[in-house]
Homo-oligomer: A and B are copies of this chain.
Amino acid sequence: VPAAAADLDRTDPLASLRDRFILPEGVTYLDGNSLGALPVGVAERVNEAITRDWGVGLIRSWNDAGWYPAPARVGAMLAPIVGADPAHKSVVVCDSTSVDLFKALHAACSVRPSGRRVLIAESDNFPTNAYIAASVAAAYGLELRAVASDQVVAAVERAGSDVAAVSLTHVNYRTGRQHDMIAVTDQVHAAGALVLWDLCHSAGVYPVALDQLDVDFAVGCTYKFLNGGPGSPAFLYVNRRWIDAVSHPLQGWFGHRAPFEFDSSFEAAPGIQRMLTGTSPQLGLIALEAALAAYDGVDINAVRAKGEALTDRFISLVDETLGDGSAGAADHDNLVSVVSPRQASERGSQVSLSHPNAYAVMQALIERGVIGDFRAPDILRFGFQPLYVRFSDVDHAVGVLAEVITTRAWDQPRFHARKSVT
């Protein structure tokens, strides 16, 4: 007999962390992998930054309110969450994930082993990763081999000593399938190549061990599981053995050795500072800094353990209520299937289901206060941020999903009208 959700919530060692977030009434939020919930204190901190630091401090706040060092300071706060020693100064927060991916992949190619001509990326990854890989491969005259995620290991093996770099995303945004980061990193290194990990869907919910695995480069988003707010700046990790050797074409004044000497020729800053480009987005940085307080004293291993339990329970309940033999399973246009791996160790803090009318199903769920998202063509995506998602939320979400499916509540015209984003 599985444990009751109420009992699990009562004994959950992370249960009190939910109080670090402001969550609206009547909503079960399973979309923290798209936009994290609002942490307590962020609104107050940003308001203070605007009214006091900007309004009164004005230009003086670049020194007095810590704006100038913010990209490195917030990077150091974020470092332990992704297994980087803050003392190594290998993490910086700046720009968008797309721009940081461009810079990091250029940086990787700038120090690739000589004579190597192949860049390996994933064909079924988030689109930006494919576009940037194509852009960087063209810039360096490398051959881009974009292969399906499950073919990466074989592709690295086949390319052998031709591989310059491998650009991968830890957890796939559609399926939730997670690479074995230890094994793949070791394989790429054994081939003498460099690895870049995109941690968009794992930073904050998985004990990523960048230093320990000796990962070369990493980037990630801060507005998903890290709760930095809409469009908050991304993070970028460069292994300290590379940092003083890399270059990238987005050379701007903030990446210069001495920005305020206003030299007309570019000389890269020592250390992670060289990965910066222009003036950093202070409101976004300030919101993110305040948001990261939600991780104070939190053990990411415990977060992951709860994440596995939440997603396991979600899959079990879906199987139970909507699996073979259940009501609705006979309708060919109303079949729910589990897309994410059933083995917890193979997936991120996410469960993806498929349904032939997934868009409409998700709209019907949202109308009922259960918020996940849709990914084309047929994916219902549910993200589980263990800092604020409860076991009872899992039960409630599956209950509402079962109702929407078995009553075909999704089959109404208003649920089929597409908006630009879901």
Tell me the bound Cα distance from A34 to B59 in angstroms.
7
A35 CA / B57 CA spacing, docked (Å): 11
Cβ–Cβ contact A232 & B98, under 8 A: no
Query: Do A278 and B421 form a contact, CB below 8 Å, given A24-B55, A37-B58, A59-B31?
Result: no
Contacts A24-B55, A102-B250 known; 17 new A-B pairs at CB < 8 A:
A43-B47, A43-B50, A50-B229, A60-B366, A60-B371, A63-B419, A63-B421, A67-B230, A68-B420, A96-B280, A98-B250, A127-B259, A127-B262, A128-B252, A230-B282, A231-B284, A234-B278
Interface mask (A21-52 → B, CB under 8 Å = 1, otherwise 0): 01010010101001101100011001100110
Chain B's closest residue to A70 (CB) is B231
Q: Could you tell me the distance in whole angstroms from the C-beta of A287 to the nearest C-beta in chain B?
A: 6
With A54-B230, A253-B131 known as contacts, the answer to whether A99 contacts B63 (CB < 8 A) is no
Q: How many A residues are at the interface, by size bracket?
A: 35 or more
Query: A114 interface residue, CB < 8 Å from B?
Result: no
Please choose the segment from A79-87, A132-140, A306-314 that sits at the chain B interface, where 4 or more of its residues have CB less than 8 A away.
A132-140
Query: Given contacts A58-B31, A252-B128, is CB(A231)–CB(B50) below 8 Å?
Result: no
Number of chain copies forming the complex: 2
Smallest Cβ distance from A391 to chain B, in angstroms? 21
For residue A392, CB closer than 8 A to chain B, the reply is no
- With a cutoff of 8 Å between Cβ atoms, the chain B residues found around residue A260 in the complex are 376, 420-422
Given A47-B46, A131-B256, CB of A231 within 8 Å of CB of B283: yes
Smallest beta-carbon distance A405→chain B, Å:
22
A126 and B253 contacting across the interface, CB-CB below 8 Å: yes
> Contact between A230 and B283 (Cβ–Cβ < 8 Å)?
yes
> In the complex, which residues 113-165 of chain A have their Cβ closer than 8 Å to any Cβ of chain B?
123-128, 130-132, 134-136, 138-139, 146
> Are A61 and B230 neighbours in the complex by a CB distance under 8 Å?
yes
Q: Which of B51, B223, B253 contacts A38 (CB 8 A)?
A: B51
28 A-B contact pairs sorted by A residue (CB < 8 Å)? A22-B51, A22-B55, A24-B56, A31-B59, A35-B54, A38-B55, A43-B55, A50-B287, A59-B422, A60-B371, A62-B421, A67-B230, A96-B279, A98-B254, A99-B278, A102-B249, A102-B250, A125-B264, A127-B266, A132-B251, A138-B249, A139-B249, A231-B283, A233-B281, A260-B420, A260-B421, A260-B422, A262-B376
Complex contact B266–A134 (CB within 8 A)? yes
Tell whether A324 is near chain B: CB-to-CB under 8 Å: no
Contact partners of A98 in chain B: CB under 8 A = 250, 252-254, 277-279
Q: Nearest Cβ in chain B — how far from A230, in angstroms?
A: 4
Q: Which residues of B contact A124 (CB under 8 A)?
A: 264
Q: Are B46's CB and A135's CB within 8 A?
A: no
**B50-A278 in contact (CB<8A):** no
Q: A278 touches which one: B59, B97, B252, B284 (CB < 8 A)?
A: B97
* Any B CB within 8 A of the CB of A331: no
Asked whether any CB of chain B lies closer than 8 Å to the CB of A261, the reply is yes
Cβ of A136: which chain B residues have Cβ within 8 Å of it?
A: 249
Q: Is A95 part of the binding interface, using a Cβ–Cβ cutoff of 8 Å?
A: yes
**A343 interface residue, CB < 8 Å from B?**
no
Q: A280's contact among B37, B231, B259, by CB below 8 Å, is which?
A: B231
Closest B residue by C-beta to A130: B264
Q: Which of B99, B259, B278 is A250 in contact with, Cβ under 8 Å?
A: B99
Report B-chain residues with C-beta under 8 Å of the C-beta of A27. Answer: 58
